[in-house]
Amino acid sequence: MAVENAIKAIDATQHHFFDYIITDLVMPELDGWTVLEFARQNQPSSRVILITAYGAEDTKKIAQERGAWAYIEKPYLIDEIKRIIKQGPQRPQNHNN
């Protein structure tokens, strides 16, 4: 399922279970941190993958501390998501995430 903003993502998690939740950090209205927090509280077994074009080492560390399953900096998006999901339920190895 794909939705166009964080508000719809949060709404979707109230009605459906997701193995993976992939969200951008920077979005209008609500940000990816809000989606991550909501997912951790309401779907703790979902694996949240944060993506961003505005990455920094501090952001990666904060994402891990807040419970993100993986963190990906653009432009590595598609290849990294495929690699991470193929690893299965264990936390991904640190490559670009």
Q: Which pLDDT tens digit goes with each residue over 34-69?
A: 999 999 999 999 999 999 887 777 998 999 999 999
**Number of domains the chain contains:** 1
Using alpha carbons, list the distances in angstroms from residue 50 to 11, 77, 81: 18, 10, 10
| Mean pLDDT (the chain, rounded) | 85
- Burial tier of 26 (Cβ tally within 10 Å: 0-12, 13-18, 19+): exposed
pLDDT of 7 strictly over 50: yes
Quote the domain boundaries for residue 52: 34-72
Residues 9-40: pLDDT tens digits? 999 999 999 999 999 999 888 999 999 999 99
- CA-CA distance, 68 to 61, in Å (whole number)? 10
Q: Is residue 67 part of a domain?
A: yes
Is 22 a domain residue?
no
Q: Per the domain annotation, does 86 fall within a domain?
A: no
Note whether residue 94 is domain-resident. Answer: no
In a domain, residue 52? The reply is: yes
- Is residue 93 a part of any domain in this protein? no
46 assigned to some structural domain: yes
